[in-house]
Amino acid sequence: MDVLRPGLANYRGLLLLQCAKFFGPPLLLAHLVTKTASLSPLAKAAVYLAAVPLVAAVRDKLDIWRNDREAARRGAKPVPRLKGKLPGNLDVMMYLVHEFENGYLLQAYQDLLDQNGVKTLNLRLMWSDLILCSDEGHVKYILTNGFPQWIKSDRFIRAFETFLGHGIFNRDEDLWKQQRAMARPFFGRDRVRDLELFDAHASEALRALRSSPLPPGASSANERALDVQDLVGRFMVDSAADFLFGAQLDTLSRPLPIAGKAELGTKGSKTDDEFGDFVQAFEAAQLRCIERINERWMWPIGEFFNDKNKDPVRIVKAYIEPFVQKAVEEEKGRREREEPFDSETANLLQYLASVSDDKTIIRDQLLNFLLAGRDTTAALLTFTIYLLSIHEDVFRKLRAEVLSAVGPDAMPDFETMRNMPYPIANESAVRAVLNETLRLFPPVPTNQRGTTEGEGSVLPPTRPGDDPLYVPPSTDMFFFYIHFQRNSELWGEDAMEFVPERWIEKDKMKRYLDNPMIFLPFHAGPRICLGQQLAYNEASFFMIRFLQQVESLELASEFVPKGAEVPADWKNAKGRMGMERVWPKTAITLYVKGGLWVRMKLRE
């Protein structure tokens, strides 16, 4: 093993090495100075104390000088650097950590970019480069042409290692390539069109909705109030487990959070049962990963004696362990019986068990796919229903369209789903509403990459008069799909508004057709989402079934658990923040804090 590069899970070893690199040279220098000069004990102590910041400052300057020189050599400019008030831009870091907890969805990053009049900015946090990027052109470059120089990188992977381990989201280069090649056949055209499977779980979700108790203050027997985020989360986890592992989790038959009684969970509302514990742990693990990212290289200090993701991940793994165990045993039986492996009918889990005996690897893969399958599409459905609940006109038009194209009870087929006009007959109504939701509320609103240890990367100019920007090797970048998907320069003056017609009317579609890279909810390039078609199919199907049953829809803010109310001062804010009637947040994927509580009138 390379002793200077501890294993990905060994963050403690890495921290010790970093400390040795950071403190070693100044302490050695101080030792030499105090050995050669005759100093009082007080002066000696002062030399030791001063040596650390002094050497850090010299290193900082050297680092910047070296990078500026390399930028010039490559005909580029360095990415503009932010100058904070405190050393290491500690004030900026504290501001970002505060806003992550209390602020509006990733607004703090947009504000920093706007205040500096740029779309790509180096925060230079804690003396190391961290680039923020809301420039769609730069993002396009790093995901496509610049792909070989822009990887997930060890720095990010370590923060996710306890949770995602060997899974597809947490590996680069060959290990990632193998997994992608292995998974791709499971997302083929026929597999992602399993309407029977979608219908079984959608029917179960609507049954759970109908059988939920009458809410406090109900004016008719057909009224229901529910945390829709919880409902669609269950629909998605049941569908994903069925689709990927052939497992029946039946989470929709367990108790749902009750209007007026629900408490605030890690993200949404919570229930006290085995599934509730799994969800809380699954979400706590995601949240901790993101907190680690925000704490930069310092997170291992706080977790030196205690990996804060160990407990949540133990609960999550215990929940899926029986499925892995069963698949491994079945595979053993198949081999003993010398039956051929049927790749046509096998699900992903059966396939994994056929190519690996390592239960840890199988479980990690499963967990990654469960995250991909549940949280993203559940976020899409949650925010679609949120936007419909505050845009009654769109709700009415869409419902009328669904009823006329599919009828009140029939199961939709693919042709009908694709051809529902809204209001002009060239695009599916449901698809337009889903796309507009994905634009305003991309389920994965931000992402991250880092340059390799090689040569760094030069970001080509994206607007006339811009310079190419040089990014040094081993540098991290956060980029924000959400910012450019809401940018009025790209989408027009109504960029913050919910306008599904944008995806239908030819003149409005032009902006997107001229530059499709301004809409990247599913990412782009070699790591583009594998589940895109599956997600569209499942979400379209669910929305049609939901609209067949639900006659009216409105927010029920009175049931939002304590601590999740929209902050009162948002009302006066500009842009979406001023429009929001729920508190959108993100931890890997988007969610509504406290859950999306809506009051619905169901069809007789």
Q: Which stretch binds ligand HEM (CB under 6 A): 337-345, 376-384, 405-413, 421-429?
A: 376-384
Binding of ligand HEM by 587 (CB under 6 A):
no
Interface residue with ligand HEM among 280, 376, 487, 548 (CB under 6 A) is: 376
Q: Rounded to the nearest whole angstrom, what is the least distance from the CB of residue 203 to ligand HEM in the complex?
A: 20
DSSP letter for 315, please: H
- 481-491 in b/e form (b: 16+ CB < 10 A) is bbbbbbbeebb
Report the residue number, 30 or 380, with the smaller CB distance to ligand HEM: 380
Q: Which two tokens stand for residue 523?
A: 């990412």
Interface residue with ligand HEM among 54, 523, 552, 554 (CB under 6 A) is: 523
Q: Rounded to the nearest whole angstrom, what is the least distance from the CB of residue 534 to ligand HEM in the complex?
A: 5
- The residues in 122-181 that bind ligand HEM, with binding defined as CB under 6 A, are 168-169, 180
Interface residue with ligand HEM among 324, 398, 534, 588 (CB under 6 A) is: 534
Nearest to 148 by CA among 460, 526, 447: 526
Sign of the torsion angle spanned by Cα atoms 170, 298, 119, 387: positive
Binding of ligand HEM by 522 (CB under 6 A):
yes
Interface residue with ligand HEM among 521, 561, 594, 595 (CB under 6 A) is: 521
Q: Rounded to the nearest whole angstrom, what is the least distance from the CB of residue 2 to ligand HEM in the complex?
A: 25
Counting Cβ atoms within 10 Å, is residue 77 exposed (0-12), middle (13-18) or buried (19+)?
middle
Binding of ligand HEM by 240 (CB under 6 A):
yes
Q: Which residue has the tokens 């999306």?
A: 596
Q: Which stretch binds ligand HEM (CB under 6 A): 1-9, 334-342, 384-392, 516-524?
A: 516-524
Binding-site annotation, residues for heme: 529
Region label for 421, one of left (φ > 0), alpha (ψ between -120 and 50) or beta (otherwise): beta
State how far the Cα of 184 lies from the Cα of 199, in Å rounded to an integer: 24
Binding of ligand HEM by 447 (CB under 6 A):
yes
Q: Rounded to the nearest whole angstrom, what is the least distance from the CB of residue 381 to ligand HEM in the complex?
A: 9
Binding of ligand HEM by 229 (CB under 6 A):
no
The number of angstroms, rounded, from the C-alpha of 574 to the middle of its chain's C-alpha atoms is 25
Report the residue number, 47 or 433, with the smaller CB distance to ligand HEM: 433
State how far the Cα of 207 lies from the Cα of 251, in Å rounded to an integer: 12
Q: Rounded to the nearest whole angstrom, what is the least distance from the CB of residue 293 to ligand HEM in the complex?
A: 13
Interface residue with ligand HEM among 535, 547, 556, 560 (CB under 6 A) is: 535
Sign of the torsion angle spanned by Cα atoms 215, 217, 223, 225: negative
How many helices (H) and strands (E) would you count in the chain? Answer: 22, 15
State how far the Cα of 31 lies from the Cα of 41, in Å rounded to an integer: 13
Counting Cβ atoms within 10 Å, is residue 356 exposed (0-12), middle (13-18) or buried (19+)?
middle
Binding mask 415-444 for ligand HEM (x = CB under 6 A): ----------------------------xx
State how far the Cα of 320 lies from the Cα of 374, in Å rounded to an integer: 14
Contacting residues toward ligand HEM, per CB under 6 A: 168-169, 180, 183, 240, 369, 372-373, 376-377, 380, 443-444, 447, 521-523, 527, 529-531, 534-535
